Structure 1
Amino acid sequence: MTGKETAPFGKGSHLHLIDGSAYIFRAYHALPPLTRKSDGLPIGAVAGFCAMLQRYVENNNGPEAATHIAVIFDKGSITFRNDIYPEYKAHRPPLPEDLRPQFPLTRAATAAFNIAYKEIEGFEADDIIATLAREAAEAGGRVTVISSDKDLMQLVGPAVCMFDPMKNKLIDADGVIEKFGVAPDRVVDVQALAGDSVDNVPGAPGIGIKTAAQLIGEYGDLDNLLANAAQIKQPKRRETLINFADQIRVSRRLVQLDAQVPLDFTLADLVLRAPEPEVLLGFLTEMEFRNISKRVADKMGVDAPMIAAATAKGIAEKSAPKTVAPPPPDAPIDHAAYVNINTPEMLADWIDAIRAQGYVAFDTETTSLDEMQAELVGVSLALVPGRAAYIPLGHRMAAGDDLFADNRLTEGQLPLEVVLNALRPVLEDPAVLKIGQNIKYDVKIMARYGVHLAPVDDTMLLSYALHAGLHNHGMDELSERYLNHRPIPIKELIGSGKSAVTFDHVPVEKAVAYAAEDADITLRLWQHFKPQLPQSRVTTVYETLERPLIPVLTRMEMAGVQVDRDTLSRMSNAFAQKMVQLEEEIHAAAGRSFNVGSPKQLGEILFDEMGFQGGVKGKNGAWGTGADVLEDLATEHALPGLILDWRQVAKLKSTYTDALQDHINPDSGRVHTSYSIAGANTGRLASTDPNLQNIPVRTEEGRRIRGAFVAPAGKVLVSLDYSQIELRILAQIAQIDALKEAFQQGLDIHAATASEMFNVPLDQMTPEIRRQAKAINFGVIYGISAFGLARNLRIPRDRAQGFIDRYFERFPGIRAYMDQTIAFAKENGHVRTLFGRRINTPEINAKGPHAGFARRAAINAPIQGTAADIIRRAMIQMDPAIAHLPARMLLQVHDELLFEVEENAADELTAIAKRIMEGAADPAVHLDIKLVVDAGRGQNWAEAH
């Protein structure tokens, strides 16, 4: 430490206590590895740590500024808690090898900033913080604990608050209640019941945070709860509390912070001191931190030291498997350099290198794109650009046309179980980041083999957060666009069409080049994209809306939803009969029989025989009869509308009642859709194989299809659906007072809109007028034109234009929002949601037909995107909230979530899910208009919705 000055601590003093360990780990995982050029010393975490301290120093001003400050570290891993419970924190993995030498450097960095740091053998940093917080409060001062560690929330009180630097959020007593459901003085009781898997605090089996909070709220405190456990009505909960009472009491001792740690210093010793330029810049120069040194020097008004350019080569060479020569950091893609891992020794070398580095690009090769049935053929790994390997596991002898062709595994492959057992610890290690491209697929594959892949980063989602609206996010396109490299096409290995083979029949030597290249490209894309997140201001979007959704969707997709095959079969027959009935009406309207499914014959009848206007012939000379053409004609003629109805029923039959039967998994008996997180520019999820989001719900036939989605015996389906969320968001973003008032008063929004537009009192509203207002309300969100509205309502265009003109007259704020949004998009090339999601608008300044589409998309994107962000936040919060219930989330369909739950828990599930969905925007975004969620339940989806 430098300096001996002290300052009395008392009323008016403000102590800031920084959780040093949290700063270190956050810095380590947030930045790519960095080594000191001169000697290869790992310094990435130190660099991030210094950057955070520098930002703290720069921002420590104003009424909340510190007068006293200390950074508190953990001295060692063994504390008094290990005497109480030897297994405490036993499951925590060892420190990454490249992080271990950086710990003393972070202490030196703190001293260089002239900030006091403290650590005491036998006590955790949290205990020291608790002791200092107690002493400061007793002395009449204030305390701010700078940490995101939930264990420290028990300290919050009248003189103590927390600041979460990860969320840039101040946490007071209300914030603690929001997190734990109880006041700060009861947090320990809740934690004692819920336990903590990270720290291996046992708690009460089967009782989570929500249930624990409910119990403590009902009984007052833990002692009273345990004393009256025999009175609890729920048998399982009662038995748990009685049988595990001693374990719960031990857990309370583990989570209770010790606020009586013997200190060899006083609060006065922690007085705030300004950094000394010579000392601080000397340390930064020694670490070879050019950027931080320049920033610090500029702030201090001194000359920046000269430091040679740094390189990350050191760690790459240090962590290289002994079987591979270290490539240069910017190595070109060289398929010949990739490695076939086929001995236990090679595998062990790579695993050691992964642990030393702390991250690895990971990819799987399988026999199918269906994650629920695909077999694992091999896995690929990449450590640094140019260093990648493939582990073949399931490659087979070539299968010829002969039915008796040899289909045995080829020689030279490690046994599947041997590889899985060796990889499992590192793939499940929370200290090792696994990087993938569309890694949700690999997570599901590995989960079926008993390996829980976490934590993960996804290059597809990184690109999506940065580039939504600019291009697609598949690996081949990203590689060509950002790496200037065209990957090996899969067709070169497996062929195409009827002659295609599955990947297990690809020769190993070809598979190595293809699979290792995938991992290599993925790593390079990650290194390219990850540093761009803060520059584009989308770090929060990626970290709170994209990445956390991966495990949520994984669980949903693997759970699937039960579908009744017999119901689908009956519906298919009913739809066939409906098509016959419509064909008869169509033939009568046309005046003769023809093939309704033939666009050519239909065009001849509409334009040649019946003389309808507006037809356009294509290059082949046939009349166009697409949906847009028919929708226009349907505003004036009956036949086109009948054709549209017939096509709708035909699509329902082929796409759903027939095709869904083929999607029923033979093992689970359920349908497992896949969700694409990057499927739509606005943040909406896309459902595929099968698509369950396009089942129409506005027609009777479409609603009937939902009746085939059923609950197993003893369970029900619960549906929760946001009510008119996009209209609420429009009213919020555009600040439309009339709409806001209608929502706040709980009025029928469509009737209220109709009343405004047509001057019709609410008590005289007709269904027809309301229907027209509804079409306009929803149409405006999508920038609807008179043509589109005319099609929707099947009315003449001039009448539709009149509706739209009147709408904008009554709600001028909507037009202002549209104009402002388009202007912003033209100037900046993108728009943003209320949560910061960036949707690029590359065509916004285009001329011609694309211009109108681009403008409508720009207008809609902030609205639809904000709604998508809200339901994503709800889904991410939902899993832990309902973990204690016999329930699971099955489907997301735009604004709706579908759950499967045991009948006796349906009420509790509905209450919890409704609360989370309605409050999902908080605290990131405050909405003036309350979100409303409609709930229903039933034995099938149609009944629930």
Structure 2
Amino acid sequence: MRYLEYSEVLGVLHMANFVVVDAYGFLFRAYYALPQLHTSQGAPIGGVYGFINILLKHLLTHNADYIAVVFDTGSKNFRHTLYPQYKMNRPRLPEDLLRQFSPLREAVSALGIASEEVHNFEADDVIATLSTKYASEDVQVRVITADKDLLQLMGEHVQIFDPIKNKYLTDEYVVDKFGVTPDKLLDVLALTGDASDNIPGVPSIGVKTAARLINQFGSLDNVLSCAEKVEQKKCREMLIQHADQALLSRDLVSLQRAVEFDGDLNKYAKKLPDSEQLLAFLEKYELNSLRGKIEQCYQISLESPDRQGGAGEMPESHTEDPVAFLRKCENVGLLAFHAKIADGTINELSVAYDREHALTVRGDEVRNFMDAARQILASDSVLKIVHDAKLIMRHFPDLGAFDDVMLMSYSLDAGSHDHSLAGMAYRYLHQKFPARLACTLVQLHGVMRNKLLLDRLFTVYYQLERPLVRVLYEMQEIGVEVDTEILKQLSQDFHGSIRSLEKEIYDLAGCKFNVASARQLGKLLFERMGLSSSAKKMPSGSYSTNAEVLTELAAEGVEIADKVLKWRHFSKLKSTYVDALLRQVETGTKRVHTSYSMISTATGRISSSNPNLQNIPIRSKEGTEIRKAFVAREGHKLVSADYSQMELKIMAHIAGVQAFRDAFSEGKDIHMVTAQQIFGDGVTDPELRRRAKSINFGIIYGMSPFGLAKNVGITRQEASQYVAQYFRSYPEIKNYMEAIKAYARKYGYTRTAFGRKCYISGINSEQHTVRGFAERAAINAPIQGTAADVVKKAMINLRNKLEVGAIILQVHDELLVEVPESHVDRVAKLMKEVMEGVANFSVPLKVDIGVGSSWGSMAKLESV
């Protein structure tokens, strides 16, 4: 299978581009592929959010001069007249999806996009008509859809773009999937029919047979007229018996390309949306997080002062002397400011000292104002109220006392997907269009500070989130040194392993194929090699070749499956880690500077990106080799401190598991202790210890016996027996699990040992799958969240006490410090004392200390 490369797409950008969107097809894909978001009033909006988000992303990266969104009318059409049973067996759509039809139409209108729908025809017919009518040497038509029927339209000037895969589809893709080129697809679909639309086709003829027949005879008409010549008896009989049915099916599948409706190409010219209508839509459906992308896409501002609601509100001052204004801020003891940043430069500042008095500084005035404000910004006697303090520190490194409303919002509800200033203004202040941004910051600060007190989250923000900003900012700025020569060598080594594995795979397969193509691999394994016992088909009709399937095959002795798993392993290491890291190393310093996010997880965990250093493999040999590229600068060493068994110790503390407490206090191997509890005293078998370890951690994550059976490689009956024995051995854990689920059902959230709230969405859902997922989250969140809080507190305390050296990396439960060689022992001792003393749990926390010249060559330090 081959997708069109982006460079090939660029070749047609000199032409006018007409984007045609299959509205409901796109919505359906977004609904099923993305999280099911709801507004605060419970209205489903996830599909519409996905539709807008992906469409804007497409428009940002692919030029569009004209755009049309095509809807189905929802009523019967000419195909029902031809065949009354058409689409008769379709199940009713989910209620949450149906309720998004109307908001989708509102979205399209609010974005200023022309739409079409024509009575007695389907959206596919209208799309086909638009494509046929306007595709030419001067106009390139791009159809955004995942509907296979529309692949018929593909041609020199009509492209198909799959919105979820984010890929242009090519002729090769159609041939790979259907066995024929796009111009012959109609005849293949006529033979196969379509069960989802109740199109009959010819019984017993699938895609492979249909493609073979069409390729052999040239067309459906020729196949039917030469049916007597078809060798396979059953196929020949079916074609003769159901010839009329095949022709009917072709009429049903065929796209009408001359549907009549008003309008010429200019009707679909891309235009700017009406800001007031668009803002009202975003407010109504609580989609303010999309504002930034909309502004970027249309090159407009949705925060103009004249849109500020509220009678009698004073306009922002643009003429007051900045020095005099700053003096007032100093007298009040408060400076709220919001910076608009583009390409790393502040081009506008909105500042205020209360809810009514504000000043806006733009353009050349910004630098002068920043110079005048530097002393106040660094002062601890004037409180700065900002949004995203860590970003502000990039421009004001000496930022003094501050409050960050973004982190206040995160502390109040870590699970919220919108901590933008616009989203918070709507949620907490009911402001529609917060143009007076600095005054909005002052208002939010007062409201959210009180809410932190009422929700007993004051300490979470003031003792964990706010102090951590400075720590993470410094870590980002310092970065970590990378030995690029090691990475280059690894890239070459991995490339060699990939090529070697490909040769072995081709030898085992007996042919060459695209190893990266799941479809080609599936056909090879389950059709050509006949490994049907492990075959699992996905809704698309292709075989699943995920890691789970390949691992099962490898365990059965299928060598090619094992080789493909290794090929994927090396391919991912090379592309995702080694080559990506090489691109992100700063040439001058040879250091890489990751970006830490404080608001990305629901449990309080920190995440990193550009690069994501938290996902570098830990246990594999290759992962260790990659870590060896992270080195200490000359004259320094890296000191690592990693919490040992922290999550199990937290479980022991929260659930009051006496057997765990005793085992940890006596220094016993907790997994061997569990193995002996389940399998009998005196057990020393490493395999049984491995199973016990899987159970220990599986229980924390709410794993079912079914999941445990798959994870450990045992029968479901054995897994059920192990879990039952586990709960008999540790009844406190079972009691904790039931109690925490009941608490979450009653209050909608759980809490960590530090008081952080973890909201549990869907805990009272009537859908078993949704409720089961939520129950597992309720069990795990207090443990994961407490572990996150422990690490955050450790980072804050260590940074405050570290006199030499610097924290340069945080990955899961591990901290990495770069320190001069002469201070290694002192810093190692300090790290152990600080990190083990963070929390007074009933089970003492322990850290393992390692020292080395690189992250991947740490020697355990026993002397501390």
The bucket for the TM-score relative to the shorter chain is: 0.5 to 0.7
Tell me the amino acid that sits aligned with residue 726 of structure 1: E
Question: Are 2:357 and 1:379 equivalent residues in the alignment?
Answer: no
Describe the shift of the 1:596–1:794 C-alpha distance in structure 2 as closer, same or farther (beyond 3 A).
farther
CA–CA separation in structure 2 for the residues paired with 1:581 and 1:800: 39
Residue 768 of structure 2 is aligned to residue 848 of structure 1: yes
Residue 672 in structure 1 maps to residue 593 in structure 2? yes
Specify the SS of the correspondent of 2:599. coil
Q: Which amino acid in structure 1 is aligned with residue 474 of structure 2?
A: R
1:686 aligns with 2:637: no
Other structure's SS at 2:631 match: coil
Q: Does 1:469 align with 2:447?
A: no
Alpha-carbon distance, 1:565 to partner: 1.0
The CA distance in 1 between the partners of 2:328 and 2:546, in whole Å, is 58
TM-score using structure 1 length? 0.55
**Which residue in 2 is equivalent to 1:751?**
672
Summarize the Cα distance change of 1:913–1:861 in structure 2 as closer, same or farther, 3 Å threshold.
same
Counterpart residue type for residue 382 of structure 1: A
Q: Per-residue deviation at 1:843?
A: 1.5
Aligned 8 A contact 2:412 2:757 in 1:
yes
8 Å CA contact 1:630–1:641 kept in 2: the answer is yes
Measured after TM superposition, the shift of residue 460 of structure 1 is 1.5
Match of 1:803 in 2: 722
Deviations 1:696-718 (A, max 9, x none): 10111112111100001110001
1:423 equivalent in alignment to 2:373: yes
Structure 2 match to 1:905:
823
**Superposition deviation, residue 562 in structure 1:** 0.4
Deviation at 1:617, TM superposition (A): 4.5
Cα contact 1:635–1:794 (8 A) shared by 2? no
In the TM superposition, residue 863 of structure 1 has moved relative to its aligned partner by 0.9
The Cα offsets for residues 287-339 of structure 1, whole Å up to 9 and x where unpaired, read as: xxxxxxxxxxxxxxxxxxxxxxxxxxxxxxxxxxxxxxxx9xx9649999345
Q: CA–CA distance in 2 between the matches of 1:662 and 1:741?
A: 49
Please say if residues 331 and 385 of structure 1, whose CA atoms lie closer than 8 Å, have aligned partners that are also in contact. no
**Cross-structure match for 2:130:** none
* Alpha-carbon separation, structure 2, partners of 1:907 and 1:335: 61
Matched, 1:392 2:362: yes
1:550 alignment partner, one of 466, 469, 474: 469
The CA deviation at 1:586 is: 4.2
**Partner Cα distance (1:936, 1:867) in 2:** 21
Give CA deviations for 1:179-229 in whole Å, capped at 9, x if unaligned: xxxxxxxxxxxxxxxxxxxxxxxxxxxxxxxxxxxxxxxxxxxxxxxxxxx
The residue that corresponds to 1:256 in the other structure is none
Return the letter of the residue paired with 1:542: Y
| 1:458 and 2:404 correspond | yes
Cα contact 1:635–1:795 (8 A) shared by 2: no
Structure 1 residues 583 and 467 mapped into 2: Cα distance closer, same or farther (>3 Å)? same
The answer to whether structure 1 residue 933 and structure 2 residue 847 are counterparts is: yes
Name the amino acid aligned to 2:745: K
CA distance in 1, matches of 2:492, 2:710: 30
Q: Deviations over 1:157-196 (max 9, x none)?
A: xxxxxxxxxxxxxxxxxxxxxxxxxxxxxxxxxxxxxxxx
What code does the residue aligned with 1:361 have?
Answer: A
Determine the structure 1 residue equivalent to 2:782. 862
The 3 A distance-change label for structure 1 pair 797 and 377 is farther
The letter of the residue matching 1:660 is: L
Name the structure 2 match of 1:703. 624
Is the Cα–Cα contact under 8 Å of residues 673 and 690 in structure 1 kept in the other structure?
yes
Work out the CA distance in 1 between the residues paired with 2:481 and 2:311: 46
1:756 to 1:592, Cα distance in 2 relative to 1, 3 A: farther
Amino acid at match of 1:414: E
The alpha-carbon deviation at position 364 of structure 1 amounts to 2.8
Deviation at 1:727, TM superposition (A): 0.6
The alpha-carbon deviation at position 605 of structure 1 amounts to: 3.0
Match of 2:455 among 526, 536, 559: 536
Shift of 1:483: 4.2
Paired AA for residue 781 in structure 1: I
Q: 1:558: Cα distance to partner?
A: 1.0
Structure-1 separation of matches of 2:516 and 2:731: 45
- Matches of 1:524 and 1:633, distance apart in 2: 60
Give the whole-Å Cα distance in 1 for the aligned partners of 2:360 and 2:813. Answer: 42
Ranges in structure 2 where 5+ consecutive residues have no aligned partner = 1-304, 860-864
Which of 771, 781, 795 is the matching residue for 2:700?
781
Q: What does the per-residue CA deviation read over 1:713-746, in whole Å, with 9 as the maximum and x for residues that have no partner?
A: 1100010000010011111111222221111110
CA deviation profile, 1:424-464 (whole Å, cap 9, x unmatched): 111112121111222111112222xxxx1121111121111
| Superposition deviation, residue 913 in structure 1 | 0.7
Matches within 5 A, 1:157-168: none
Q: Distance in 2 between matches of 1:819 and 1:557?
A: 41
1:838 to 757, 769, 787: 757
Maintained 8 Å contact 2:309/2:433: no
1:414 aligns with 2:384: no
Q: Deviations over 1:351-402 (max 9, x none)?
A: 123223322322333344xxxxx34434332344465443234xxxxxxxxx
Could you tell me whether the CA contact under 8 Å between 2:314 and 2:356 is conserved in 1?
no
Is 1:820 aligned to 2:734, yes or no?
no
Q: Conserved in 1, the CA contact under 8 Å of 2:309 and 2:432? A: no
Deviations 1:909-941 (A, max 9, x none): 0001100000111xxxx3121111100111100
The amino acid that maps onto 1:683 is G
Deviation of 1:486 (Å): 6.1
Q: Secondary structure at the match of 1:843?
A: coil
Q: How does 1:630-641 map to 2 (within 5 A)?
A: 630=550, 638=558, 640=561
- Counterpart-to-counterpart distance in 2, 1:838 and 1:422: 41
SS in 1 for 2:501: helix
Cα distance in 2 for residues equivalent to 1:796 and 1:575: 37
Residue 433 of structure 1 corresponds to: 383
Amino acid at match of 1:877: N
SS in 2 for 1:547: helix
- The aligned counterpart of 2:394 is 444
User: Does the Cα contact within 8 Å between 1:438 and 1:461 map onto a contact in 2?
Assistant: yes
1:473 counterpart SS class: coil
Residue identity matched to 2:404: D
Aligned residue number for residue 571 of structure 2: 650
**Alpha carbons 2:329, 2:352 under 8 Å: kept:** no
Deviation (angstroms), 1:645:
3.6
Instruction: Report if aligned partners of 1:631, 1:640 keep a CA contact under 8 Å in 2.
Output: yes
Which deviations, in whole Å up to 9, do the C-alpha atoms of 1:17-62 show, x marking residues without a partner? Answer: xxxxxxxxxxxxxxxxxxxxxxxxxxxxxxxxxxxxxxxxxxxxxx
Determine the structure 2 residue equivalent to 1:358. Answer: 333
Partner residue, 2:217: none
Which shows bigger deviation, 591-600 or 848-857?
Answer: 591-600
Alpha-carbon separation, structure 1, partners of 2:516 and 2:796: 44
Does 2:710 correspond to 1:735? no
Tell me: CA distance 1:785–1:650, structure 2 relative to 1, closer, same or farther (3 Å).
Answer: farther
CA deviation digits over 1:885-906, x for unaligned, max 9?
Answer: 2x11111111100000011100
- Partner of residue 498 from structure 2, selected from 576, 579, 602: 579
Q: Aligned to 2:315, which of 337, 358, 369?
A: 337
Maintained 8 Å contact 1:335/1:517: no
* Deviations, residues 609-655 of structure 1 (Å, cap 9, x unaligned): 43445655555443344445556666656455544443232222112
The structure-2 alpha-carbon separation of the partners of 1:541 and 1:795, relative to structure 1 and needing over 3 Å to count, comes to same
Amino acid in the other structure paired with 1:878: L
Distance 2:312 2:491 in 1: 54
What is the RMSD of the two structures over their aligned residues, measured on CA atoms?
2.9
| 3-state secondary structure, aligned to 2:614 | coil
Go from structure 1 to structure 2 and tell me whether the alpha carbon gap of 1:335 and 1:654 turns closer, same or farther (over 3 Å shift).
farther
2:478 aligns with one of 555, 559, 566: 559
- The share of aligned pairs that are identical, in percent, is 40
Flag the 1:748–1:823 CA change in 2: closer, same or farther, 3 A.
same
1:496 corresponds to which residue? none
Distance 1:534 1:758, change over 3 A: same
Counterparts of 1:538 and 1:634 in 2: how far apart (Å)?
50
Q: Is the 8 A contact 1:831 1:858 kept in 2?
A: yes
For residue 365 of structure 2, give the secondary structure of its aligned residue in structure 1. coil
Instruction: Give the C-alpha shift of residue 465 in structure 1.
Output: 1.2
Letter in structure 1 aligned against 2:678 = M
Partner SS, residue 457 of structure 1 = strand
